[in-house]
Structure 1
Amino acid sequence: MPARDVAVTRISPLSAFRVGLAMSLVGLVAWLLAVVLLYFGMGAAGVWDQVNSLIGGVGGDQVITFGMVISVATLLGAIGAILTSVLAPLSAVIYNAIVDLFGGLTVSLQEEAE
């Protein structure tokens, strides 16, 4: 089976942005699903009732609700998605600068016989 070496010498910042955006959006959906499942699991265990009674016993009016939890989780996830989308093209630019100095990644491709 013949093998050939391919060098990755340049990554387009636009394609890095698109891939980073797609992956961060998928990560955001997975994050929100995990938060929802964790919220309902903790609710079934009675954790939120105990936390809300503790907050009320200290003198607070704020209770932890599903809307508050999902809002905070969405805000944190959106910040993470934006940071990932912005840092992906920046990483591609840094990679391209380093490749100009030292050379790119070499990947060995091997074809499989059918």
Structure 2
Amino acid sequence: MLKISLIVAIVMFFVWMIAVGILYLTMGGMGVWSRINDTFSTLTSSPDVQAAGKTDLITAGRVFGVTAIVGAINIVLFTALATVAAFIYNAAAAMSGGVELTLGERD
């Protein structure tokens, strides 16, 4: 179960990264990020300081960096929880005897 859950978690990590990339590009095309960055710089800068030292709040590096960290944490948690759940299920099935099914031919 560890191997299967790890493979599924890694595949879902790539799906997660692609989904965030599509969302980031879509919202960037609509100008959302530039408006947020302009609003942030307007709120945090004083009128005396020129815009030469302007730093953006939302950049591609920050977005994909946070996305990668969240995805890596998700890989570890999903793999661990799936493995523990499989162990608990197998232990419960062994204690209760599980479900037995006998198939036979019709007479």
TM-score where L is the length of structure 2:
0.78
> Which range is displaced more, 85-94 or 95-104?
95-104
Matches within 5 A, 1:94-113: 94-104=88-98
Tell me which residue corresponds to 2:64. 70
Which is helix-richer, 1 or 2? 2
> Are the structure 2 counterparts of residues 44 and 97 from structure 1 closer, same or farther at C-alpha, using a change threshold of 3 Å?
same
Using the TM superposition, give the Cα deviation of residue 55 of structure 1 relative to its aligned residue in structure 2, in angstroms: 0.9
* Structure showing greater Rg: 2
Percent identity of equivalent pairs: 34
State whether structure 2 residue 43 is matched by structure 1 residue 58: yes
**Consecutive unaligned residues in structure 1, runs of 5 or more:** 1-15, 108-114
Q: Which amino acid aligns with 2:73?
A: I
Q: Which amino acid aligns with 1:82?
A: V
What is the aligned length? 94
**Consecutive unaligned residues in structure 2, runs of 5 or more:** 46-54, 102-107
CA RMSD of the aligned region, Å?
2.2
> Are the structure 2 counterparts of residues 42 and 91 from structure 1 closer, same or farther at C-alpha, using a change threshold of 3 Å?
same
